[in-house]
Chain A
Amino acid sequence: MALLEIKDLHASIGDVDILKGINLTINKGEVHAIMGPNGSGKSTLSYVLSGRDGYDVTQGDILLDGESILEMEADERARAGMFLAFQYPVELPGVGGMSFLRGAINARRREEGLDEIDNLEFVKMVREKAKGLGVKDEMLKRAVNVGFSGGEKKRYEILQMAMLEPSMAILDETDSGLDVDALKIVSEGVNALRGDDIGMMVITHYQRLLDHIVPDHVHILAGGKILKSGDKNLALEVEKTGYSSFIDAA
């Protein structure tokens, strides 16, 4: 069943058009990779999908589980199951990591009419998931992302994803900044979350990540449009020939 439907999506910032008619459907259980040159609009797409302020959707629609989410704020979309692992995770000085995670989980639980999560249960859950992703206990105690290395920030994004159990996850260059071993650990973490109930959009520049997280579909985004779609072999082709052949062909 269609989980996310992006229909002829046009979006701009100020008077700059960035997304120029994107069509894409992600079904439950599928992983779609998005590749494309720098500045092609990949992060913009991830922000527009997750409801960041400052973007004007000038045309088209975004449906999550069959319902338009255009009028929903970022927090409502998140509680409806959307999750964005940021390309550049944001440091929040003064915001304790544990209370941040707990706040996010409880926001969701409140929406579902559940009581706040039991504190012991919560701590146990964080510890367990953090361990699997190689996130050190000591990092959990710090302010959100403050003083984390680039790779640590990326692991922390996936930890949040594991805690929030989204139905639609967008991973924006989660591989950048990760060393070879970390890439493996994080990919395993992501793969563990794959399943029939979740759809994923994995934005990356490198085939390397897709060796670990094998996509069902690959799309090439350039100039705010999807120029070509294919299976995982398309990523191999990109790796060999670069984007120019696709852009020239379009």
Chain B
Amino acid sequence: MLHDVLKKGPQSGPLSALRSGAAQRFNDAGWPKATDEAWRFTNLNTLAARELAPVVDAAVVDTAGADTRGLPDGARLVLVNGMIDAGLSTAMPDGVELVALADDAELAACLDDERLLDHGVARLSLAVMASGFGLRVTGEVTEPVHFVYRNAGNDASTHAVGVVALADGASMTLLEHHSGEGDGLSAPVLAVTVGAGAALCHARVQAEGAERHHLATTIMTMADDARYNGLSVQTGGAISRTENQIALVGEQIDLTLTTLYLAHDDQVMDVTALVDHRMPNCTSRQIVRGVLDDQAKGVFQGKVIVARDAQKTDGNQMSRALLLSRKCEADAKPELEIYADDVACSHGATVGELDDNHLFYLTSRGIPKPEARQILIEAFLADVLDEVEQEELKSHALPQVAAWLEQMKG
């Protein structure tokens, strides 16, 4: 099946070798299995068994099912079932150049990365991508750029593949929003490079429909003095994973990533993050908060690697999950691999429930229990959101949190 798909893709250009290599590896290995360490907690067996058809041809995309209402104002790239919808997209601001990866060997090379080729799902997206897009960012871009991913369809998978390259000294705000209907799979891949002294503010919302699956892989490579501030919120999908692999390959890098996952019913929601400190004097701060209700299962896999040369690393990774029902489950695998001797690193993962003392204090003041629970869940999330300074990130991502909390009430 995959072979047929590949035949339709470009047979020449910078992507063709990459794609056939990725296809080869996917065909050899197949879908990730429960026995793969990286997929121990998130089982894709039923998804793999469904033989989803990759959506690869813009001409045959049925966009009718994709909800294209409520698009954000301003500069936006709209990807319907993984492909750019030129009609719905708008012009990029000054300093941002949109290219097709098939025509841009330099940006296409960002995808030639073991972090993607070795990834059980990302390599499928590389193999079957219909078109890849790239953003080349230079200078200080003040207007935020939206990536709007809209998916629809049953028994099909969509594979948006993109590259965002911030040149040295560039800065921008990138706001991603993923939503979709039907029981298909969205498997977006994004490769980001943040050049020396460049700064990226990034918010990501995963609000897929309840039946969909979402397996997203973002890789990022940061150079000297680069800055990253990220806020990621996920609420959607039957099975979902948001995976970030971040390599700090320069000095004096500052990275902050705040991640919230909110799951209920039978959702399986996975947050996987790897921060790889390769050079000295960098700071990384990752805060993860999960709220789980009903029979939901949350997975947090966090790993911080500090290479031998990465002295004076300040690396933190802290995950807390809040279980609202007796039937939900939180799996956590925090890992710290330190090869340098002069570092300040901390990591941890805790799982807890709402505190009965807190609940009683609120209800003893006349506040009904459901409302009291709501207040405490918000409080659980509030202290991490205080860490996020960029209003643009909050105003992009927090309505999704509010909507989730609102549906909890009902």
A→B interface (CB under 8 Å): 50-54, 73-75, 78-79, 83-84, 86, 89-90, 92-95, 100, 103-104, 107-108, 111, 143-144, 160, 164
Known A73-B369, A90-B358; judge A103-B379 contact (CB<8 A).
no
Nearest CB to that of B378 among chain A residues?
A: A94
Residue B375 interfacial (CB < 8 Å): yes
Question: What are 28 of the A-B contact pairs (CB < 8 Å)?
Answer: A52-B364, A53-B356, A54-B356, A73-B363, A74-B360, A74-B364, A75-B365, A75-B366, A75-B367, A75-B368, A75-B372, A83-B364, A89-B361, A90-B357, A90-B361, A92-B362, A92-B376, A92-B379, A93-B379, A94-B380, A103-B365, A104-B365, A107-B365, A107-B367, A143-B379, A144-B361, A160-B365, A164-B365
Nearest CB to that of B360 among chain A residues?
A: A52
Nearest CB to that of A50 among chain B residues?
A: B364
B368 proximity list for chain A (CB < 8 A):
75, 107
The count of A-to-B residue pairs whose CB atoms sit within 8 angstroms is 74
Residue B4 interfacial (CB < 8 Å): no
Smallest Cβ distance from A160 to chain B, in angstroms? Answer: 7
Q: Is the CB of B360 within 8 A of A164?
A: no
B372 proximity list for chain A (CB < 8 A):
75
Interface of chain B residues 349 through 398 with chain A (CB within 8 A): 356-358, 360-369, 371-372, 375-376, 378-383
A50 proximity list for chain B (CB < 8 A):
364
In the assembled complex, the Cα of A53 lies from the Cα of B362 at a distance in Å of: 13
B380 proximity list for chain A (CB < 8 A):
94
In the assembled complex, the Cα of A92 lies from the Cα of B379 at a distance in Å of: 8
Nearest CB to that of A80 among chain B residues?
A: B366
**Which of B360, B379, B382 lies in contact with A53, CB distance below 8 A?**
B360
Q: Is the CB of B379 within 8 A of A78?
A: no
B375 proximity list for chain A (CB < 8 A):
95, 100, 103
Most A C-beta atoms less than 10 A away, residue of B357, B364, B382: B364
B→A interface (CB under 8 Å): 356-358, 360-369, 371-372, 375-376, 378-383
Top 3 nearest A-B pairs (CB, nearest first) are A94-B379, A78-B366, A104-B365
Nearest CB to that of B356 among chain A residues?
A: A53
A143 proximity list for chain B (CB < 8 A):
379
B358 proximity list for chain A (CB < 8 A):
90, 92
Most A C-beta atoms less than 10 A away, residue of B358, B360, B383: B360
Smallest Cβ distance from B353 to chain A, in angstroms? Answer: 13
Q: Is the CB of B366 within 8 A of A164?
A: yes
A95 proximity list for chain B (CB < 8 A):
362, 375-376, 379
In the assembled complex, the Cα of A161 lies from the Cα of B246 at a distance in Å of: 52
**Which of B360, B366, B378 lies in contact with A79, CB distance below 8 A?**
B366
A54 proximity list for chain B (CB < 8 A):
356
Please classify the interface of chain B as helix (H, G, I), strand (E, B), loop, or mixed, using the class held by over half of its residues: helix
Q: Is the CB of B376 within 8 A of A78?
A: no
Smallest Cβ distance from A144 to chain B, in angstroms? Answer: 8
Smallest Cβ distance from A242 to chain B, in angstroms? Answer: 32
Q: Is the CB of B361 within 8 A of A86?
A: yes
In the assembled complex, the Cα of A73 lies from the Cα of B367 at a distance in Å of: 11
Q: Is the CB of A108 within 8 A of B366?
A: yes
In the assembled complex, the Cα of A164 lies from the Cα of B362 at a distance in Å of: 13
Smallest Cβ distance from B364 to chain A, in angstroms? Answer: 5
Q: Is the CB of B356 within 8 A of A94?
A: no
Excluding A75-B368, A93-B379, A111-B366, 8 further A-B contacts by CB distance (< 8 Å) are: A51-B363, A73-B369, A78-B363, A84-B364, A86-B364, A94-B378, A94-B380, A164-B366
**Which of B356, B371, B376, B381 lies in contact with A107, CB distance below 8 A?**
B371
**Which of B360, B371, B381, B382 lies in contact with A103, CB distance below 8 A?**
B371
In the assembled complex, the Cα of A90 lies from the Cα of B358 at a distance in Å of: 7
A86 proximity list for chain B (CB < 8 A):
361, 364
Q: Is the CB of A75 within 8 A of B369?
A: yes
**Which of B363, B378, B382 lies in contact with A74, CB distance below 8 A?**
B363
Nearest CB to that of A79 among chain B residues?
A: B366
In the assembled complex, the Cα of A107 lies from the Cα of B365 at a distance in Å of: 9
A107 proximity list for chain B (CB < 8 A):
365-368, 371
Smallest Cβ distance from B350 to chain A, in angstroms? Answer: 14
Nearest CB to that of B380 among chain A residues?
A: A94
Smallest Cβ distance from B384 to chain A, in angstroms? Answer: 9
Most B C-beta atoms less than 10 A away, residue of A73, A79, A95, A143: A95
Nearest CB to that of B377 among chain A residues?
A: A94
B367 proximity list for chain A (CB < 8 A):
75, 103-104, 107
Smallest Cβ distance from A22 to chain B, in angstroms? Answer: 20
Smallest Cβ distance from A36 to chain B, in angstroms? Answer: 22
Smallest Cβ distance from B401 to chain A, in angstroms? Answer: 14
B376 proximity list for chain A (CB < 8 A):
92, 95
Known A75-B372, A107-B366; judge A93-B383 contact (CB<8 A).
yes
In the assembled complex, the Cα of A95 lies from the Cα of B361 at a distance in Å of: 12
B378 proximity list for chain A (CB < 8 A):
94
Smallest Cβ distance from A124 to chain B, in angstroms? Answer: 20
Q: Is the CB of B366 within 8 A of A104?
A: yes
A84 proximity list for chain B (CB < 8 A):
364
In the assembled complex, the Cα of A100 lies from the Cα of B382 at a distance in Å of: 14
In the assembled complex, the Cα of A51 lies from the Cα of B376 at a distance in Å of: 20
B371 proximity list for chain A (CB < 8 A):
103, 107
Most B C-beta atoms less than 10 A away, residue of A51, A74, A83, A144: A74
In the assembled complex, the Cα of A83 lies from the Cα of B376 at a distance in Å of: 21
In the assembled complex, the Cα of A51 lies from the Cα of B356 at a distance in Å of: 13
In the assembled complex, the Cα of A79 lies from the Cα of B363 at a distance in Å of: 10
**Which of B356, B357, B364, B381 lies in contact with A78, CB distance below 8 A?**
B364
Smallest Cβ distance from A46 to chain B, in angstroms? Answer: 10
Smallest Cβ distance from A51 to chain B, in angstroms? Answer: 8
In the assembled complex, the Cα of A53 lies from the Cα of B383 at a distance in Å of: 28
In the assembled complex, the Cα of A51 lies from the Cα of B381 at a distance in Å of: 28
B357 proximity list for chain A (CB < 8 A):
90
In the assembled complex, the Cα of A93 lies from the Cα of B354 at a distance in Å of: 12
Smallest Cβ distance from B402 to chain A, in angstroms? Answer: 15
Smallest Cβ distance from A152 to chain B, in angstroms? Answer: 16
